[in-house]
Every structure is written in C-alpha cells, then in structure tokens.
Amino acid sequence: MQVEEARYLKRKVKFSSIDVHPTEKALVVNYELEATILGELGDPMLGERKECQKIIRVKSLNPGSDLTTLAKEIIDKCKLIHPSKLLEVEQLLYYLQSRKDSGPPSKASGKTQLQENPEVPTYDATEIDEVANINDVDDYMELLYEDVPEKIRGSALLLQLSRNPDNLEELFANETVIGALARVLREDWKKSTELATNIIYIFFCFSSFTQFHGVIMHFKIGALCMNILEHELKKYDLWNDELQKKKKLAESEKDNVKVKEDYEKSVKKYSELVKKQEQLLRVAFYLLLNLSEDLAVEMKMKNKNVVKMLVKCLERDNFELLILVVSFLKKLSIFIENKKEMSKENVISKLTKLIPCDHEDLLNITLRLLLNLSFDSELRSKIVKFGLLPKLVGLLNNENHKMIVLCILYHVSMDDKAKSMFTFTDCIPIAMKLLLESPEKTDIELLSLCINLASNKRNAQIICEGQGLKMLMKRAFKFRDPLLMKMVRNISQHDGPTKNLFVDYISDLAEAMLQADNDDFGVEALGILGNLTIPDLDYELIIREYELIPWIKRRLEPGSAEDDIVLDVIILVGTVCNDDACAKLLAESNIIHCLIELLNAKQEDDEMVCQIVYVFYQMIFHESTREVIIKDTQAPAYLIDLMHDKNAEIRKVCDNTLDIIAEFDPEWAKRIQLEKFRWHNSQWLDMIETRQMDEMADQYYGDEGGYDPYLQDTDILDRPDLFYGDAYENGYIMDGHLTPEYIDENGMYDGQPYDGQPYEGQPYDAHGQPYMPYGYDGIDIQDGYEPYARPESNMGFIDERYAGAVDQYGRPIQQEYGMYQNGNGDEEDEYDFGYGGYDPR
C-alpha cells in the first residue's frame, strides 16, 4: 500500500460482554475494535481487528450505595455499554457490593491510587477510566498544565500509551510532550508521589530501548531520579523514627486507649505510604539500571552514592523491589570501586536475611551477587563472620543453586583461616556424597572445593572417616582422575593417623607412578609417595621391588622431565632417605652426584635448591652415608657456598647440615669456621667503608650544594676564619683573646677559678712547664687582669705583612682600587683580578 493513497481511517467499536474484575472493585467491559484504512475512492485498503478491555473502577462502592443510580451513571459515561444492559450492570454491582475484598490492587494499572498528602485531591477513583488513544496525545499533554489531579490523569493516560512499545516512536517524535513531562517531573515531583511515579514510569518505558537514552540524558532525568531517591530515603527514615516514638509511647501507656488507637492508625498510614513509595523506588531504580549500560553514566551514579542508596534499600521487605536492587548491585559489583563501597556499607550483613528466602528468583540473584563479592578476601571473611557459611552449605542440596553455592564455598575455602570453619558445618559429608555419586566427569567446582578442604588437617581427618579414603582411591584409580588424586595428595601431607592409611595403597601408587610417563595422574601419585614420611615403612623394600633407583636417576638428569616432576622426585628421595639402609643404597648408586649436577643447573630455583640441600641433610644423619657425603663428594663445598643464600629456608637447612659436618670432620669444621669469619669480616668492612664514604660525601658535598657542613650546625659568628682568612690559621691573635670552650661565663677555667698557679690535674708541656690557658701566655693574673676587658684595638688578628695603616676593623687600608700594599709596605703590586696576569682591558 502506498502511503499517499490512504485518505481515511474508519473505526468501529462492537460491544462483547461485561463482567466483574476478579480481585478489584471494578467492572470489565470487553469489546472489539476494528480499524479500516480507506482509499481515495472509499474502498477499504487495510483492516485490523483487536479485542480490548476497559476497566471501570468503583472503589466508592459500599454497603449503603444506591446501585441503580450508580449503574445509570456508569452507562451514561461509558458509551460502550448499551442502556439495555442496565439491569445486568446493576446485578454485577450488587455482586461486587456483597463480595469480600480478596486481594490487593492490580499491578497492571498504569497509575496508583495511593496518596501521600490527603489534603491534595487526586483523580477521583469513582470516575470511569479511559482508554488512551494515540491520536489524543495533545489533549493529554494539555492536562499537564492543569492542577495536580489533572496532571495525574494526563500522566496516567500517557503512561498507558507508553507501555505499548509500538507507540514509543511516535511519542518520542513529539518533543513537546517529552519536554512537558520532564518539566512537570522537575517542578512537581514533591507534590505527589503518584505523579512522580507515573512520569518516571513513562521515561522507564523509553529507557528499555537504547536509542531513546539520548533524550533521557538530555533532560537529565537520571540526575533528577537520583535526587528523588535520596529525598524519599530520607523521608523513610523520618517515618520510621516517628513510628518508633509512637510505639514506645504506646508501650509505656498500655492503658491509654487513645494512644493505642493513634499508634495503630499511624501503622496503617505508614504501610500505605511505604507501599506507594516502594512503587516509586522501583521504577526509578529500574530507569537508572537501564541507563547504567553506559559506563560513563554508571560512574556518575556511583559518584552520587547510588551504591549507598541500593544497600539501604536491602532493608525493605518488598519482594519485587529487592530483586531489582540486588540485580543492580550485582551489575555494579564487578568493579573494585563499587565493591569497596559495598563493603564500607556492610552489604554482607544486609544480605544475610535474604539467604535463604522463599523466593527462588530473589535467592538466585542474591547468591550471584555474593559470588561477585566473594572474590574480595575481606568480604570473604565477612561471609564467615556473619554466619553465612552454614546457610550456604544448606543450599547445596538445592539443584537450582548448587553450582553458584559451590563457587562461593570454593572462594571461601581459599583462605586458610576459613578452612577450619567448614568442620562446624555439614559441608564435608555433603561434598563427599556429591563427589562419590557424581558421574565420571565430576564438576570442576566440586573438585576444587574438595581439594582446598583437604589441605586442612581436621578436614582431612573427617574426609577419611569410615571408608572415605578407600572410596576416594577406588574412584581415582577407576577414572584416573588427576584432580581427585590431587585431593588425596593434600590429605597425605598431614601428619597423624591419616598418613598410616596410605600404607595399603603404596603398591598401587608406585605402579601408577612408573606407568604414567609425565602424566598428571602419575605425577600426583609420585607426590603422594613423597609425602609418606612413615617411620616404620620399609622404603628399601619398595625401592628394590619396583627398581626405583634407575627411574630416579633418569628423572634427575637435567632436561629429562619438567621441573615440577623433578622437584617431586627430589622430595621422594628426601623422604626415602629417612631409612638408613635406603640412604646408603642411594648414596652408593651415585645419586648425590646427580643432585649436585642438578644443583648447578637449577641454582636459580630456590625450591629445588632447598629440597636438594634437605636430601644432603637427611644423608648426613646416617653414619653409613655421612662419610660418602664428606669424603667422596663436593656437597660440603656447595653447602658452604649456599650458607649465605638470600633465601632464609635454604640458609637454615645449610646451617643445620654444616653444623653436623663440622661436628664429625675437624678439617671441614675449620673451613666452615673460616668461611663464616670471612663473611662476617667482609660484612663489617663493607659497613665501615660505607660509613666512611657517607661521611666523606657529607663533608665535601653536604646537603646544600658543597658548602662546609659545619655552617649548617653552628652560628656563623662563631667562625672567625670566615672573616680573617689565613691570619686565623697562622695563629696571630690579639692579647687577651679567650677561647670560649676553656673559660665559662663565671670566669672559671675548666670549672675552677684560674689565678695563674698550677692546679691539680693541669697538663704540662715537654719542658715541664704547665700549659697556660689559651690567651693567658705572658700575662700576670695576679696584677688584676680582667679576662673580659676589651683591648684598645678592635683588631683581632694581624699580620706583619699588613703592618701599615688599617681601618677600624683591622683591615689594611686600600690605597687605590685594585692595588694593595705589598710585603715591603712601600711598593704596590697590581691586583690581577684572578686572570693570571691577563689584563681584561
């Protein structure tokens, strides 16, 4: 059909039936709408037929209502119902009048009937609801310029259109309507929660499609919603405080009927307000959730404390709101900044009431949020702290949540402190049951959890109770599962009764180790054998029976196997060396030389070096192998080299081994002692040299660009050499000059009055004469000399070369610019300004 050919639209409405609403006090009118597009000549070009419903709410209906009058009013206002249906309408109204209210208002309605401020009249609920028409958008927009009741009515009609996705394009094209809605929301959202809910709901419908996000951002609806949410949450706190005050008052005055009635009335009003507010919160958060697809917008929300608002809403009981809030938090939790904010707001403690809960969808999304949060070690510890661990274990039997719970428990089991907490739950029996009853391909999440749990000694004992270890070994060998063998290996590392249980499986483990060439299963079997440090076990018999020495020597050759396998082989050698006979057998088979070669090749691998040194330590203990190590190998020399390794564990094992060698071999004892002295001496010399270098650097370079360091620590007036130069160094000082450090403020010399006579403890020179105080030489103290008397001249230091005229400060008087008196006092030398005789003129 060509658009230009269409000229007319023919609309036909046909009444079908009328019935009562199943839950509300309302009548439902069923009718059929037929729309036909006519061409230029009036012939039909396109037609469509649609079944529709119209809901007529009559909430004012009560036992005393006049049903006949109300039925006539309904027929007069609703053109869909023919007047002949008056009796039928009256009968339906009678049925509604006598029926008990069976449920809450329908959530399908585009507008709410709750009101916050009773003094503001809302759209009369007894009026007949209208069916919105896309062609009447302008009329609905005009209602937005009227009073609040009309604005609510207009927004409800526009919402009815917006909920149909087919109308969004046309509404979006009408910029005037969108602008009017944004203006009304910005100006009147505080006047009516119902109005705000309707308009935000309209923008939410637009936000469901990304192409409309631009216009929403243009009108700053997201920022406005954040302000609305913040305001509503503050109101909620005020309502709670007010209700708590009335509750305390009612409890204190139980005999006061009026106070009790006032409290009950307040509770009822509070419930209505909260219900209406939660509708607003839901649509506002949903709008923000849709807008947060853009990470830049999400960052703005984070800066406006959206995380804090969402966590606060977790205290609510509204199921639908909680699902939305938890979903939003789950989306935000993938970023570290948001996760830290959630931790700060104690989100884990708020989630405890939701796990478990009766709503499967809410429980599932809450567990997914908890899984995201469990990647953080601090939040994992809070999961244990707030008692969520037993609750999570209880959900393992629920197939809908089992995998998510296993992942959370795996994360929790990563922390060593948390592993022991599993012993106080039913986790291990449930996990063992799931593991042993699972098919051949076991869930990796379940195996990972079991591997972590087995690394705790108490958990390992619980796992091995009864036939636990036997069933694990049977399943591991049946399916040759390397991960299950890793779990068994973790069990084998614990000392105590669990280790002795592995004696029955040594032959199976040895065969698996020899048959599997570089196979993961065989590597785990090798690791289990290396962990079996059982004193009464005959390792020599095992080595001879399975001919392990040639196999060990092949594996110890550099490059013959992966480092992990070689490391496990070395651990196995260290374990079997506990047996004296076995250690002798290995020493005679030249294993030590293989280890030394490997030590040279892998000297950068600290773990491998440490295990090789431990093998030497084990062999030194046995008399039969001690002589071989000390006399026939260079192992002690390598141990001396490693004595000062940077790795503390290597140093510790080396020291213990060298102490044993020094005890049994005097020659090596001297070498070890000499090496220790050299090391200590070199450390001391390095320290002294470093200190001297630092002092020299401070002296010559200082902290202020090379100045004398003493200048920064003393008064500059105490440095006469800075003023008088060489004269100070040559010792020309005036009579009566006193050195401050010898004469104190009371005229005491070294703490005693000085009278020119020798005193006890006074030092003497080479000629037997007592040293005089500095500046007292040749002065008769008994003649009444005053130490602090000023000399006639102010000159402190003079030089015979400058015996000519001086100024008041004792400086030679300059005869002419650039000319100074020479040493003869009568001739003048030209001052060359430091240019070495070069005349710059």
Most confident of 83-97, 161-175, 617-631, 668-682: 161-175
Confidence of residue 415 (pLDDT cuts 50, 70, 90): very high
pLDDT of 156: 92
* pLDDT surpasses 80 at 564: yes
Considering the chain, what percentage of its residues have pLDDT values greater than 70?
A: 75
pLDDT of 567: 93
Name the token pair of 813. Answer: 């008087």
137 Cα distance to chain centroid: 50
More confident residue, 784 or 321: 321
For 126-148, what is each residue's pLDDT tens digit? 233 678 888 889 999 999 999 99
By mean pLDDT, which of 31-45, 269-283, 764-778 is the weakest?
A: 764-778
- At what angle are helices 468-479 and 427-437 packed, to 10 degrees? 30
Most confident of 13-27, 85-99, 449-463, 762-776: 449-463
**Average pLDDT of the residues in 604-610:** 91
For 635-644, what is each residue's pLDDT tens digit? 888 888 888 8
Instruction: Name residue 749's beta-bridge partners.
Output: 743, 752
Name the token pair of 338. Answer: 């948001």
Residue whose tokens read 């406005």: 224
The answer to whether the beta carbons of residues 453 and 459 sit under 8 Å apart is: yes
* pLDDT surpasses 80 at 794: no
Name the token pair of 629. Answer: 């190590």
Nearest one of 295, 277, 283 to 233, comparing CA atoms: 277
For 325-341, what is each residue's pLDDT tens digit? 999 999 999 999 999 99
* pLDDT surpasses 80 at 778: no
* pLDDT surpasses 60 at 710: no
More confident residue, 538 or 714: 538
Residue whose tokens read 């949903």: 286
| CB-based contacts of 455, cutoff 8 Å, min separation 6 | 419, 490, 493
How far is residue 738's CA from residue 218's CA, in Å, rounded to a whole number? Answer: 87
For 309-319, what is each residue's pLDDT tens digit? 999 999 999 99
The answer to whether the beta carbons of residues 298 and 332 sit under 8 Å apart is: yes
By mean pLDDT, which of 151-160, 337-346, 571-580, 807-816 is the weakest?
A: 807-816
Phi-psi region of 107 (alpha: psi -120 to 50; beta: other; left: phi over 0): alpha
How far is residue 484's CA from residue 520's CA, in Å, rounded to a whole number? Answer: 11
Average pLDDT, the chain: 80
* pLDDT surpasses 90 at 505: yes
Name the token pair of 595. Answer: 């280890």
Residue type present at position 90? E
Three-class secondary structure of residue 77 per DSSP: helix
Quick one: 769 exposed, middle or buried, by C-beta within 10 A (0-12, 13-18, 19+)? Answer: exposed
